[in-house]
Amino acid sequence: MKRTYRIFFSVFFVMMLIVVLSVAVNAEEYSGQCGDDLIWKLDTVSGELLISGTGNMYNYSFKTDGTTAPWGVYASEIKSVIIDDGVTNVGAYAFYECKTITNVLIGEGVTEIGNYAFYDCDGITMLKLPSTLQIISQYAFYDCDGFTSLTFPDNLKTIGSYAFHGCGKVTSLVMDDSLETIGSYAFGSCIEIRTIVMSQSLKTIGSYAFNSCISLIFLDLPASLKTIGESAFYRCWSMIDVTFNGNLDRIGLFAFEMCDDLESAYFYGEVNNFNISIFVSCDHVTIYCIEGSEIHSYVKRNKVDYELITCIHDYISEYREPTCTKSAYTEMICKKCGESKIYAENEKATGHSFTVYIDNNNATCFNNSTATAICDNGCGALDTVEIDGTMLGHIFTNYINDNNQTCINNTTATALCDHGCGTRDTVIIEGTALGHNYTNYINDNNADCIHDGTKTAVCDNGCGASDTIIIEGSALGHSFTNYINDNNNDCIHDGTKTAVCDNGCGASDTIIIEGSALGHSFTNYVIIIEQTCTINGEKEAYCDNGCGEKNVIIEKAEGHIPTEWIVIEEPTYYDEGYQIKNCTVCSEVVNTEVIPVLIYNGFPDVWDASWYAEGIEYCFKHGYI
């Protein structure tokens, strides 16, 4: 298998060189120095970054948008990285977060891949590692979840902490026998790993090295292994079988914690200070150990489920090629006892191949014909496909009249399929419907005052259909003779009288009784303003019929009517008198007049100059004489 990988990568490498040489002369390129004797060149058209020369690459660091390497500013344009033979290392942070890289070819001569070199390059789908590689440093391929399998080269000795942590699509690991150390968290959260072929020189597995590898089922640890760190296989909950093939100096606490499905743990050697706490939460595990070993003593003493190993297995490996329906697998068979273990390989089932199809000539009116082929791989599987467009379809030629026409439906004719499939086809013979015939109409006697009556006939053909027509002018009309007074006249409106139709249809007729309005009657007047000689009087009355109508009468003032003069004070020879006229209606004084003083005219027989004339005048004025 390793030979196959080498051939593949060699061919791929040659193809990539051809691509490099075929780039147009005018392609935009960037270049510079990346080691004392190394240069880099980026072709932005092909996206290829080539590093060539001899010696070590410079180490770099990271910034918020990626690596500080000189090609970092073009990181989004890099699609493939080719590191030429002669380069001796890949510098730290060299391709940090270069997410567009898909292919990485590292040439012979590189012995170390530096810290964070390809950190979070999650676009890498093809990775070729050189046979000279000895160290993969910490975080080198952290979160590179693009590639699906990893095969490590012959001389690799160390895989650093977190080196492949989070490579979530890797399904299998194949380690060469040179590998000695796997650092802590190196393959943590590689959730798709199902198989691991361990190095037979492996000495150390760091803490949490394979934590959360939740798809791992079988684990066969080499006899060379001496140390397993704390929680190394924590939460590998699909694991059902683990085998320890040698003596271990130490297994860290909780090494297999929460491996919930673990059923069998085989110990073919001793473990210093063995403690069942390495299997915390593994509720179904059974310990298989050598009789008389310290582990045997421990499990007996602590009443742990165990069984004794009756055979120290000597396995031979037999590779089973993939078939049409089964993936490739390796079967480990013990030469002593025949016990077998199956390990899945990365090669999937090939699937069937069908090329030579033979027509089955089984087309029908409803279905296409089919053709069948036998799998070209010789597995005997059959595949049957439908040959589109081969369906026969029905043919109908001999139609016979069904004589089933009615008044409203045409007759039909029916034929059987000429192919003998039994299918019938029925068609309509246009224009064969009989049509209705109505001659015997009978009066329905349903005329009323406003609607004409009807007459109805049943179809002469006996189909049960009926036809109803109106008898024009047959409406009776209303008749009103018996009018009754509605007694609804009032002061201003004539009353009405109403009659119900004599025909009993319920219609009614109301007419006005001319001249029947009562007219208003006002008798009970109430004085609102008293009439005087100078002020108009006002009185009002409401209609005696109770209609609410009000009548108001204004009585106009007629003026004073004076009496004759009435002397109130008679005049004297010394004072005026006065007289008045009163109104004969209201007695108001309407006129006042002064009466002049009386005039003394003397006596004819008294001489005005006599001595007694003045005395006579005085006595006369005072009424003495």
Alpha-carbon gap, residue 374 to 414, rounded angstroms:
45
d(CA 130, CA 56): 15
- Measured from the Cβ of residue 34, the count of other Cβ atoms closer than 10 Å reads 21
Q: In what order do the strands lie in the sheet with 484-485?
A: 484-485, 496-500, 508-512
Q: What is the CA radius of gyration of the chain?
A: 67
The widest CA-to-CA distance across the chain, in whole angstroms, is 211
Question: 89-90 and 195-197 as β-strands: parallel, antiparallel, unpaired?
Answer: unpaired
Q: Distance between CA atoms of 112 and 184, rounded to whole angstroms?
A: 18
- The list of the chain residues with pLDDT below 50 reads 1-14, 17-26
Task: Say whether 467 sits in a helix, a strand or coil.
Answer: strand
Model pLDDT, residue 21: 44
Q: What's the one-letter identity of residue 285?
A: V
For the stretch 207-217, pLDDT in tens is 999 999 999 99
User: d(Cα 325, Cα 335) in Å, to the nearest integer?
Assistant: 29
Give the pLDDT score at 532: 85
Return the pLDDT at 279: 95
Contacts made by residues 175-182, CB under 8 angstroms, sequence distance 24+: 175/199, 175/202, 176/2, 176/152, 177/201, 178/154, 179/152, 180/204, 181/157, 181/206, 182/206, 182/209
Q: Tell me the HSE value of 477 on the side-chain side, using a 13 A CA sphere.
A: 3
Q: What is the 3-state secondary structure (H, E, C) of 523-560?
A: CCCEEEECCCCCCCEEEEEECCCCCCCEEEEEECCCCC
Enter the DSSP assignment of 459.
-
Cα torsion 489, 493, 497, 501: sign: negative
C-alpha distances out from residue 295 to 265, 290, 322, 546, Å: 12, 8, 40, 127
Give pLDDT, residue 215.
Answer: 94
Position of tokens 């004025």?
621
List, in sequence order, every beta strand (DSSP E) within 387-432: 400-401, 412-416, 424-428
Tokens read off for 248: 């271990």
Amino acid at 489: N
CA atoms within 13 A on the CB side of 369: 12
**Taking the CA of residue 402 as centre, how many other CA atoms within 13 Å lie in the half-sphere pointing to its CB?**
17
Predicted pLDDT of residue 134: 98
From residue 275, alpha-carbon distances to 63, 243, 423 in Å are 46, 16, 80
